[in-house]
């Protein structure tokens, strides 16, 4: 099947809002989401004009392209180096193994307030907290996912929780 520019425009207009929201929710960064959505529709455009196979369900097809772009995005992002300063290393070593700061923080704040505060964190901090609490990943799994040492992951999560606790104690 040969697609026309009008076919692309029709599919774009019908799906761009849904795909933009979907991608933004996954990355929580407007700039990164815009870049990813642009890449998604560029890939769709290339497919429509280079391949002869019809697209039966455009939204599902585009969402699959988006998922592939998101996987590349997180893979690239996880390869970025992260270093700890001496104070953070000392803090890691001082964290008790059975300390329940997570529960202490979550018990004291509303979910809406928590998400507002999490949205203000850096990408890595936000992604680690979401991985830990939304997807219930272990520190080992998060370390593998983000290509970081487990102690680094623990310290980032601990520091974020401590920061959130201080923020909500006010």
- Mean pLDDT in runs of 10 for the chain (170 residues)? 87 92 84 90 90 87 93 79 53 51 53 75 86 80 87 87 76
CA atoms within 13 A on the CB side of 10: 7
Give the domains, in start order, of the chain with CATH numbers.
5-78 (1.10.1740), 86-169 (1.10.10.10)
Closest to 77 in 3D by CA, of 147, 154, 151, 150? 147
pLDDT digits (tens, 9 = 90+) for 45-92: 999 888 878 888 999 999 999 999 988 888 877 776 655 555 554 555
The reported pTM is 0.48
Report the distance separating Cα 30 and Cα 11, nearest Å: 22
């Amino acid at each position: 099947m040969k697609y026309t520019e009008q076919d692309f425009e029709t599919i774009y207009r019908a799906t761009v809002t849904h795909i933009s929201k979907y991608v933004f929710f996954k990355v929580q960064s407007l700039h990164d989401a815009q870049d990813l959505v642009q890449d998604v529709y560029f890939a769709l455009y290339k497919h429509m004009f280079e391949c002869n196979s019809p697209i039966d369900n455009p939204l599902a097809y585009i969402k699959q392209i988006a998922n592939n772009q998101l996987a590349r995005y997180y893979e690239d992002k996880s390869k970025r180096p992260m270093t700890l300063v001496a104070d953070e290393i000392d803090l890691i070593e001082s964290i008790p193994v059975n300390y329940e700061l997570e529960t202490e923080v979550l018990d004291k704040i509303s979910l809406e307030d928590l998400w507002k505060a999490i949205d203000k964190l850096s990408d890595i901090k936000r992604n680690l907290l979401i991985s830990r609490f939304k997807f219930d990943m272990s520190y080992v799994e998060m370390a593998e996912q983000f290509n970081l040492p487990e102690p680094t992951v623990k310290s980032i999560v601990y520091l974020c929780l401590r920061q959130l606790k201080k923020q909500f104690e006010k």
